[in-house]
A = this chain, B = another copy of it.
Amino acid sequence: MTGIDDVARALGVSTATVSRALRGLPGVSVATRGKVLAKAEELGYVASSSAAHLASGRTMAMGVLLPLIDRWYFSSALEGVDRALRAAGYDMVVFSLGGTGLNRDRVFHRSMLRKRIDALLVMCMELTPEELAALQQLDYPNVTIGGYVDGLRNVSIDDGGAATDAMEYLISLGHTRIGHVRGGGEYGIEFAVPKQREEAYRAALERHGLEARPQWLITGKFRVLESKLAAARLFDQPEERPTAVFASSDEMAFGVLLAAQERGIRVPEELSVIGIDDHEFAEPMGLTTLRQSPESQGSYAAELLLGELRGAPRLDTPPYQPHELIIRRSTAPPPSS
């Protein structure tokens, strides 16, 4: 493996000069820099990140901690983080909890503490007090994405606001019987978000003097299948159905759509459905939703940390990320009956 002194020797210069030239530091003549760059390219030399880390204190890598990868929000956000990091020459080290609570301590105690990263992004997960403390002791810059964690700053949309917008839209269409599919936390995942959205649902009902029937509030664990089953149970009740359902995520909205379809309940004529996300399936399925961009959120958060590593002042309360109502075919005024 070619090292820095292979380059230095081939050129008859010192390793210090090679190092400076390659990193674009001042104090190297144009001619020398040119020769160094050419020779490094020729020999295929790239500095070892470990050696560079040891000598400089910077790892040029950022960690991302998330509950699981295989979920729309997380994988999209990862994509955004990676994009920002790549542009800055940083590498991305991913720690997934794999959807279970197992190995949490391992991740926290071993991997994260291995001094392999310069900063850490935490994606919407609930942390135990010990984990939070561990994180804060880690002393490198950190930020959470997509879910408020007590004691840490957060990059996300205004969850309450987005949910309110969804409700106001349904109400403006004339709906008065509105149900809600709540996201459910598994493994301490996404705890704050579903709560905020549910509260906005309740508040909207109350503000407009609408009824909040407990039977109309169901739980879908942020997944299609669970949501479909829950919606099916709701529809199969003898009781009066809601004319609209606000789902806390698009995937859960799809579940409602599918349950309705199986029962021959026509959307939007008999039932309106609105979600949050603008998932990839939302357009082909015609779902009205509140769009958010996890990818932008990811890259925003990554850039925030990159900036601070470069010495920018710390931003204590990042601004809310944008959300936007996208009207499609799943919503309409309630049946006139």
Q: Are the CB atoms of A79 and B50 closer together than 8 Å?
A: no
Q: Are the CB atoms of A68 and B79 closer together than 8 Å?
A: yes
Residue interface mask A1-24, B partner, CB < 8 A = 1:
100000000000000000000000
> In the complex, which of the residues A48, A74, A94, A261 has the most CB atoms of chain B within 10 Å of its own CB atom?
A94
> Could you say which residues of chain B place their CB within 8 Å of the CB of A70?
72, 75-76, 78-79, 295
> Could you say which residues of chain B place their CB within 8 Å of the CB of A261?
261
- Contact with A96, one of B50, B53, B79, B107 (Cβ below 8 angstroms): B79
A289 in the interface (beta carbon within 8 A): no
Chain B, Cβ-Cβ closest to A90:
B111
Chain B, Cβ-Cβ closest to A223:
B280
Q: Are the CB atoms of B284 and A224 closer together than 8 Å?
A: yes
Q: Are the CB atoms of B93 and A92 closer together than 8 Å?
A: yes
> Could you say which residues of chain B place their CB within 8 Å of the CB of A71?
75
- Contact with A78, one of B91, B94, B223, B284 (Cβ below 8 angstroms): B94
A1 touching B115 in the complex, CB below 8 Å, given contacts A50-B50, A59-B50, A82-B96: yes
A152 in the interface (beta carbon within 8 A): no
Q: Are the CB atoms of B44 and A225 closer together than 8 Å?
A: no
Residue interface mask A225-258, B partner, CB < 8 A = 1:
1001000000000000000000000000011001
> Could you say which residues of chain B place their CB within 8 Å of the CB of A110?
46, 89
The number of times this chain is found in the oligomer is: 2
Q: Are the CB atoms of B53 and A50 closer together than 8 Å?
A: yes
A215 in the interface (beta carbon within 8 A): no
Q: Are the CB atoms of B50 and A113 closer together than 8 Å?
A: no
> Could you say which residues of chain B place their CB within 8 Å of the CB of A48?
54, 114-115
Residue interface mask A59-84, B partner, CB < 8 A = 1:
10100000011111011101100110
A283 in the interface (beta carbon within 8 A): yes
> Could you say which residues of chain B place their CB within 8 Å of the CB of A173?
none
Chain B, Cβ-Cβ closest to A1:
B115
CA separation between A28 and B255, bound complex, in Å? 58
A91 touching B79 in the complex, CB below 8 Å, given contacts A50-B53, A223-B280, A284-B224: no
> In the complex, which of the residues A99, A113, A284, A295 has the most CB atoms of chain B within 10 Å of its own CB atom?
A284
> In the complex, which of the residues A48, A69, A110, A281 has the most CB atoms of chain B within 10 Å of its own CB atom?
A69
A98 touching B69 in the complex, CB below 8 Å, given contacts A109-B46, A280-B223: no
Chain A interface residues toward B at CB < 8 A: 1, 44, 46-51, 53-54, 59, 61, 68-72, 74-76, 78-79, 82-83, 86-87, 89, 91-96, 98-99, 103, 106-107, 109-111, 113-116, 137, 223-225, 228, 254-255, 258, 261, 280-281, 283-285, 295
Supply 25 A–B pairs (Cβ within 8 Å), ascending by A: A44-B113, A44-B137, A46-B113, A48-B54, A48-B115, A49-B114, A49-B115, A49-B116, A50-B51, A61-B93, A69-B69, A69-B82, A70-B79, A71-B75, A75-B75, A83-B98, A86-B96, A86-B106, A91-B114, A94-B94, A223-B280, A225-B283, A254-B281, A258-B284, A281-B281
